[in-house]
Amino acid sequence: MSDYLKVISEQEAADTHCLFRGRFELAAEGWLTIRSCGAAWYELTIDGGFLDEGPARFRKGHPEWTEARVWLRPGRHVLAAHVHDQRVTTRLLSEDVEGFLWVEATSGTRAVGIEWRTRVHPGYRKTGRRLGCVLGWAEWCDTRRMDPDWRLPEFDDTCWLEAPRARGFCPAPVSAQLGPMRYCRHDPVGVGEGELVTMSMHDHDPPMSFVCRELECNDLPPNGRWWRFDLGRVMLGRPELKLSAPAGTIVQVAYAESLNNGRVYPYLKSGGGTDSCMLDTWIARGGEQIFYPLQPKGGRFLELHALADPEQVELREFVFTERVYFDENIAGSFRCNDELLNRIWTTGVETLRSCSEDAITDNPARERGQWLGDAVGPGMDILSVTCADWRPLVRGLRQAAECARPDGLTPAVFPGTLEYLPSFSVQWVSAIPHYHELSGNIQLLRELYPAAVRNLEVFEPFRVVGGLRRNPEWWNFVDWGYAGSASVFMDTPSRDERMDPALSLFYLRALRALAEWAGRLEKSADADGYRRRAEQLEAEMRAGIFQKFDECWGYHAAALALAEGLLEGESRAACLRFIKAHIENCFPNDPTAPRLSDTRVEATRLITPFFMHFVLPVLAEHGEMDFVQQQIRQCWGWMLEQGVTTWYEVFDPRWSHCHQWSGCPTWILSRYGLGIHARFDLGEGVYRFGFEPGSLKWAQGHLPVQDGTACPQGGETLGVKWKRQGGYYEFEIECPHPFTLMTEEENHSFAAGAHGFSCVRQGLGWKIERHCPVETGTEVIS
C-alpha cells in the first residue's frame, strides 16, 4: 500500500523539517523493495540505517520514484524519514510543489502495510538564508531538542500524530528510470587547524560572522577551535564528523570550491544571490556526538568551527560521503605517449563524475542544474567515451520535452527553475539524432519526434532572410562573452532584434537534423519538407552574409559555418586561418588578452572551454589535429597549472571550479585519438574510422559498447591500440561482437575478437591496407 503523506508544519510551511516513522512487520526473512519519492529533500532509513534519499528531480504534478532493496529478518521494523519542505523554486523542484513523502514497500509480490506517524522536527529553525538563489535553505539544528534514537524500532512514538494523507494529491509516481546512486567515502586531507576568536554573534549574519572570526588569537583569549580540509576535488556530498564538546557548543561547517585568502568563505562567489549561506549549523547536546547535514552540498574545501572552550573540544573523526551517479569504475579509458594529455583526459572524467547525480548537471556546488546545453553538448559526447549507463542523460532528454512551454519550446534548464535559451532549444533537436548515432536507441527518436516538431516551429515567427533574428524577450545566449549573453544581467533590457549568425547556423543544423530524424523514422514527407526548408535557408545564407568568408562574422559563426559546410576553396582556408589566429590571440594563449571576468562581459577577443566543443572537432576534421592538441595542452594545461582537479567554467578562476561542459578534450582525445566514431544509426557495431593522431606516437584505450538501450548489460568495451610506424600506423582492435569500420573508400567487416591492421593517410581520410585476426591478448603493439 502507498499513500502521499503530507508534511505538517506549525507555522509557514517554507523551510519546515518534518519527521516520519513507519512501522511494519514481516512474517519471514527476505528482500524488501522500497520505492520512495518526496518534496523537497528527504532521507529514508530502515531500522536506523541509511536506505535512500531524494527526490530525483521531477516536474510539478509528475513525481518519480527511486528504488532501494534491503534484506530483513522477520519481525518488527521501522522506516524513518526526515523531510525538508522547502517551498522555494530550486534547480530541482518548483516552489509550488507541496511537501510530501510517498513510500511503497513490497516483499516479493506482496504489498507491505505501513503505519505512519509524524511530527515537526523540534530542533530546526527557519534560517531565512538560502545556500544560493537557486538552491534550498541553509540548515540550523539544535540537536538537544530531539532524541537521537528517533529512527530506531524501539523508540516510543505514541505521542506523535497519525500521518495525514493527501488524497488525490498527484498521480501515482512513476519510475525515475535511474540506476542506484553511489556513495563514496573520502578521508579529507587536513590543511590547517587551530584556535579561534569570535568577533560577532554567530546567528546575526551567520556567513559574515564565520568569516570575521580570527583564526590567529594573538593577545585575545580563544573561545573555539577550527579545522580546514581539502577533499582533493570539487564534489557533492555531506560531511560526517565525530566531535566531543560541551552541551551548547555551536558547531559549523562551511563549504567552498576554492579558498579566499587561505580561508573557506561560506558564499557562492558566482550566481549565489544576495543571501548565499553555504553553512551548516548545529548546537551540540554534549559529549561525543556525530553531526551530519540532511542535504548534500558541493565544494572542495570545508572548514569546521566549534565555539566552546578549546580545551573541551576534540575532533575524533571527519569523513565526507560523496553522492555521485558514476563511481570510479568507468568503462572508458585513454592513454598516450603525452602525459599532459593523459592528465587532461582524466580531469574531464572526474569533472563529469562530480556533475552526475539524478541528472547530468552543470556543477555540484552553485546550482546542481540540469542545463540542456551542458548535457546535449559536451556532456553527451564525454559520456559516450567513458560510461555505458546513459540513464541520467536520457531522462534529461525526455524531461526537456515534458517541461516544454505550451507552444512547444523546450527549456534550457528544468524541471524546477524553467528558463529558455533559443540556442539550447535548437541544439536539443540536433542532439537526439546524434544520441541515436552514439547509442543505436531509435525508440527515443520515435518518442520525442512530435516534441521536436513543435519545438522547432516556435522559431518560425523569428525567421528572416538568411536566418533567425534575436527575440528581446529571450536570453540570447550562445556562449559566454558572445553578443547577447549578458542581456539578463543588465539593468536595461536588450532591444537587439538583428539576425543572429551563430543562432541561425544552429537553427540550420537543427533543420537538417530533423530531416534526418524524420527519414530514420520513415516519415518521407516530413523528411522532404524539412530538407527543403534547410536547403532554402542554406541558399539564403550563401547568397547573403555567408556568400564569402568575412572576419566580421566573428569566431562563433565562422566555426559553425565551417562545420555546416558553407565554405569552400579559399573561403574555407581563410576561415581556418581566422579561427586559429583568433584562438591564439585570446587568453590563456595570450596572457595579456582580455579576461572573461564575469557574466556581464561581452567581447570579441575571448574563447571558452564550452564553445571549444564545437570548434576543435571542426579543426580536427579539416586536418588541424596538431593545432587541436596544442590548444588542449595550452588552454587546459593552463587550468591544471592553477591547481584545479576539475575544470573551470571558463578560462578564469572567478567562475565555477567544476563544470563538465568544459571537458571536450576527453571525448576528442578518445574519439579522434583512437579513430573510432560510433554510427549505430547505420547498424549494430558500425563505426566510422575517423583517425586523427596529430603529433602522438601511440595511444590505447577502451570505448563502452552500446546495444540500443540506455544501460547496456555486461559492461562490454571495444579496445584499441595503435603505434606509429614510419609512414603508416599499426592497429589492434578487440571487440566482443562483430563490427564494421567505415572509411571513405570501403567498409571493413570484422568478426568478434582481436584484429590487427595497418593504415596510411589518403588525403584527409585513411586507407586500411591489411587486416588479420590475432589471438586474444596477443601484443600486436608492444
* pLDDT per residue as tens digits for the range 671-690: 999 999 999 999 999 999 99
Q: Which pLDDT band holds residue 781 (cuts at 50, 70, 90)?
A: very low
Residue with cell string 523537497: 40
What share of the chain in percent tops pLDDT 90?
Answer: 85
Q: Which pLDDT band holds residue 474 (cuts at 50, 70, 90)?
A: confident
Three-class SS state of 772? strand
Residues contacting residue 523 through CB under 8 Å, at least 6 positions apart: 449
pLDDT on residue 144: 98
User: What is the Cα Rg of the chain in Å?
Assistant: 28
- Do the beta carbons of residue 669 and residue 341 sit within 8 Å? yes
pLDDT on residue 778: 44
pLDDT on residue 169: 73
pLDDT on residue 485: 85
HEC readout, 211-273: HHCECCCCCCCCCEEEEEEEEEEEEEEEEEEEEEECCCCEEEEEEECCCECCECCCCCCCCCC
| Structural class in CATH, domain 183-324 | mainly beta
In this structure, what C-alpha cell is assigned to residue 457?
A: 516551429
Do 333-671 and 4-122+146-178 have the same topology in CATH? no
Mean pLDDT within 731-755: 94
Instruction: Measure the CA–CA gap between 110 and 102, rounded to whole angstroms.
Output: 18
From the CB of residue 622, how many other CB atoms can be counted at a distance below 10 Å? 17
Strand partners, 557: none
pLDDT on residue 765: 87
**Burial class of residue 569 in the structure, from the number of CB atoms within 10 Å of its CB (0-12 exposed, 13-18 middle, 19+ buried):** exposed
pLDDT on residue 93: 95
Does residue 143 have a pLDDT over 70? Answer: yes
- Do the beta carbons of residue 42 and residue 50 sit within 8 Å? no
What letter would DSSP give residue 761?
E
**Burial class of residue 730 in the structure, from the number of CB atoms within 10 Å of its CB (0-12 exposed, 13-18 middle, 19+ buried):** middle
In this structure, what C-alpha cell is assigned to residue 195?
A: 584556535
pLDDT on residue 98: 86
Three-class SS state of 685? coil
Does residue 587 have a pLDDT over 70? Answer: yes
Residue extents of the structural domains in the chain:
4-122+146-178, 183-324, 333-671, 672-774
In this structure, what C-alpha cell is assigned to residue 137?
A: 535553505
Q: Among residues 300, 265, 298, which one has the least CA distance to residue 369?
A: 298
CA max distance for the chain: 83
Does residue 708 have a pLDDT over 60? Answer: yes
* pLDDT per residue as tens digits for the range 234-276: 999 999 999 999 999 999 999 999 999 999 999 998 777 778 9
pLDDT on residue 715: 80
pLDDT on residue 493: 63
Q: Which fold has domain 4-122+146-178?
A: Jelly Rolls (2.60.120)
Does residue 770 have a pLDDT over 80? Answer: no
Residue with cell string 505514541: 158
Instruction: Measure the CA–CA gap between 480 and 646, rounded to whole angstroms.
Output: 19
Does residue 776 have a pLDDT over 70? Answer: no
In this structure, what C-alpha cell is assigned to residue 424?
A: 539550447
The better pLDDT of the pair 169, 350 is held by 350
Mean pLDDT within 359-367: 97
Taking each helix axis from N to C end, the angle separating 501-520 and 443-457, rounded to the nearest 10 degrees, works out to 140
Instruction: Measure the CA–CA gap between 685 and 385, rounded to whole angstroms.
Output: 15
Strand ranges of the sheet holding 698-704, from the earlier edge strand across to the other edge? 333-336, 698-704, 717-725, 728-735, 753-762, 765-774
- Do the beta carbons of residue 237 and residue 365 sit within 8 Å? no
In this structure, what C-alpha cell is assigned to residue 372?
A: 540542456
Three-class SS state of 36? strand
pLDDT on residue 722: 98
Q: Among residues 127, 274, 303, which one has the least CA distance to residue 211?
A: 303
Q: What phi-psi label fits residue 29: left (phi over 0), alpha (psi between -120 and 50 degrees) or beta? A: beta
Q: Which fold has domain 333-671?
A: Glycosyltransferase (1.50.10)
pLDDT on residue 727: 87
Average pLDDT across the chain, whole number: 94
Residue with cell string 560526517: 240
Q: Which residues of 446-485 are buried (b: 16+ CB within 10 A; e: fewer)?
A: eebbebbbbbbebbeebbeebbbbbbeebbbbbbbbbbbb
Strand partners, 318: 241
Mean pLDDT within 727-737: 95
Instruction: Measure the CA–CA gap between 156 and 642, rounded to whole angstroms.
Output: 55
Strand partners, 103: 36
Q: What beta strand segments (E) does 447-582 contain?
A: 463-464, 467-468
How much of the chain is helix, strand and coil, in % rounded to 5? 25, 30, 45
Instruction: Measure the CA–CA gap between 480 and 654, rounded to whole angstroms.
Output: 14
* pLDDT per residue as tens digits for the range 65-116: 999 999 999 999 999 999 999 999 999 999 988 889 999 999 988 999 999 9
- Do the beta carbons of residue 748 and residue 771 sit within 8 Å? yes
Does residue 420 have a pLDDT over 80? Answer: yes
Residues contacting residue 594 through CB under 8 Å, at least 6 positions apart: 587, 601, 603, 605, 606
In this structure, what C-alpha cell is assigned to residue 212?
A: 570575521
Q: Among residues 566, 715, 720, 693, which one has the least CA distance to residue 629?
A: 693
pLDDT on residue 97: 85
* Region of poorest pLDDT, from 7-16, 40-49, 131-140, 550-559: 7-16
**Burial class of residue 722 in the structure, from the number of CB atoms within 10 Å of its CB (0-12 exposed, 13-18 middle, 19+ buried):** buried
Mean pLDDT within 170-174: 89
pLDDT on residue 264: 98
Does residue 555 have a pLDDT over 80? Answer: yes
Q: Which pLDDT band holds residue 782 (cuts at 50, 70, 90)?
A: very low
Mean pLDDT within 38-53: 96
Mean pLDDT within 724-749: 94
* pLDDT per residue as tens digits for the range 602-618: 889 999 999 999 999 99
- Give Cα 207 to chain centroid, integer Å: 27
pLDDT on residue 494: 67
pLDDT on residue 774: 66
Does residue 780 have a pLDDT over 50? Answer: no
Instruction: Measure the CA–CA gap between 563 and 612, rounded to whole angstroms.
Output: 13
* pLDDT per residue as tens digits for the range 650-663: 999 999 999 999 99
Does residue 59 have a pLDDT over 90? Answer: yes
